[in-house]
Structure 1
Amino acid sequence: MNLVKRMMQLACAAQFCLVGMAGAAPLSITLPAETAAFKPSSLPGYPLAQQKCSTCHSADYINYQPPGMSLAQWTGEASKMQHVYGAPISDQDVTIIGAYLATTYGSAKASDADVQAASNPVPAATVAKAEPMTLLQNNGCLACHAVDHKVVGPAYHDVAAKYASDPQAQAKVIASIQQGGSGKWGEIPMPPFAQLSPEELQGLASFILHQ
């Protein structure tokens, strides 16, 4: 009998704890600021990695890979990000980023012929003008933004509303895309998109400001 009574007491205590937890305020967690950075390089893969790799993970992820990896191995890692994890990078991006990673984190040298060839691929004879939505998808913008609702960053509709009466709106939005930064819409940083051409920047800013 005493055992049954004790079990009932424990059950009541557990219910009391659950009720107390249900009424408690949500737990707020503040993550530390990002301090990791990609190693600087004069290769074109450096700004490209800053722009596109940091969309999905910290630069610290690179340091977790085995040391001394070759150009083929680093290019394979970049290709895996594209095909397995859906990273917003093209086949050409994979080649250029792989060359940068192999020289700054692996065993390759910037003067190697295969690194030079990978870093400076022959441009296609005809490059079609990309539509704004295609640019947004290819550069991973839609992982953090949407047209009509907040995701990680602000909705494009809200950005357009903020700058609706600002005569410098186009220039300010272009600068934000090109340079990245944080503080305008929260503490989560936006990576720089320095690889975009002036025409692409103009097209994206115009698209955003007309939402």
Structure 2
Amino acid sequence: MKILTSLLCAAQVCLMTLADAAPLSITLPPETAVFKPSSLPGYPLAQQKCSTCHSADYINFQPPGMSLAQWTAEAGKMQHVYGAPISDRDVSVIGAYLAATYGSAKATDADVQAASNPPVEQPPTVSVAKVASALLKDNACLSCHAIDHKVVGPAYHDVAVRYANDPQALVRIMSSIQHGGSGKWGEVPMPPFAQLSPDDLKSLATFIMSQ
């Protein structure tokens, strides 16, 4: 019994000592791993993008001799599986750098050069007719106009015919839409649409002249 009591007392003393001890502080060594330099545009991109999620050592842990396709797939995995903040274009550029610097490809290979300089993605073009259709709806233009017959105001086809040979047609129609007016097509006044941007005015005028 005395032995058990002594052990319990010793355990209590140890716990009290640990409780009073300062918290353990661990200092990690500074990061020394760096991406291998390259003249390819993927080098600075990898430094910027890849380093936000992992050390450059991660690259060294991959199997040696990986191809362009394999390195590109690895970069794509970072994007799609782990949610890395990189675009499809970034995946191509970084994959080319990794393949030429750590894999089996060469920087001068045609496919590496192509992957390093992919075409810039262009925003999809929107037709004038589609833009004008939205503007006509948003501004209730078709409550007073129609394409091929008079309503309150003239048909757009008639406007296009009148201005067909006028080199200032777009400017005149844009001005009529923006400022409104009366007397050109009758006595009913057309309200001004001063809130429309120059691009919107041009889209509407171009649409009208195409009728």
How far apart, CA to CA, are the structure 1 residues paired with 2:116 and 2:30? 31
Which whole-Å deviations, capped at 9, do the CAs of 1:121-155 have from their partners, x for residues lacking one?
A: 1101239xxxxxxxxxxxxxxxxxxxxxxxxxxxx
2:3 matched to 1:6?
yes
**1:64-106 deviation digits (Å, cap 9, x = unpaired):** 1111001111111111222222222122111111110000000
DSSP 3-state at the match of 1:14: helix
Residue 39 (str. 1) matches residue 36 (str. 2): yes
Report how far residue 120 of structure 1 moved: 0.6
Distance 1:66 1:95 in 2: 19
* Alignment-mate amino acid for residue 37 of structure 2: P
The residue aligned with 1:172 is: none
Q: State the match for 2:75 in structure 1.
A: 78
For structure 2, list consecutive stretches of 5 or more residues without a partner in the other structure.
Answer: 125-211
Q: Which amino acid aligns with 1:66?
A: P
Cα distance 1:5–1:94, how it changes in 2: closer, same or farther (>3 A)? Answer: farther
Report the structure number with the largest CA radius of gyration.
2
Check 1:27–1:96 CA distance in 2 against 1; reply closer, same or farther (3 A cut). same
Deviation of 1:5 (Å)? 4.0
CA RMSD, Structure 1 to Structure 2 (Å): 1.8
Q: Quick one: which amino acid aligns to residue 65 of structure 2?
A: G
What's the TM-score once normalised by structure 2's chain length?
0.54
Q: Residue type of the partner of 1:91? A: D
Q: CA, structure 1 residues 8+80, in 2 after alignment: closer, same or farther (shift >3 Å)?
A: farther
What count of residue pairs does the alignment treat as equivalent? 124
Counterpart CA distance in 2 for 1:32 and 1:22 is 28
* 2:97 paired residue number: 100
Query: Of the candidates 97, 100, 107, which is equivalent to residue 110 of structure 1?
Result: 107
One-letter amino acid matched to 1:31: L
Aligned to 2:154: none
Which aligned pairs between 1:131-150 and structure 2 lie closer than 5 A?
A: none
Q: In the alignment, which of 15, 25, 41 is matched to residue 18 of structure 1?
A: 15
Return the TM-score normalized by structure 1: 0.54
Counterpart in 2 of 1:68? 65
Q: 1:119 to 1:27 in 2, by over 3 A?
A: same
Read off the aligned partner of 2:95 and give its amino acid letter: G
SS of 2:23's equivalent in the other structure is coil
Shift in CA distance, 25/76, structure 1 to aligned 2, threshold 3 Å: same
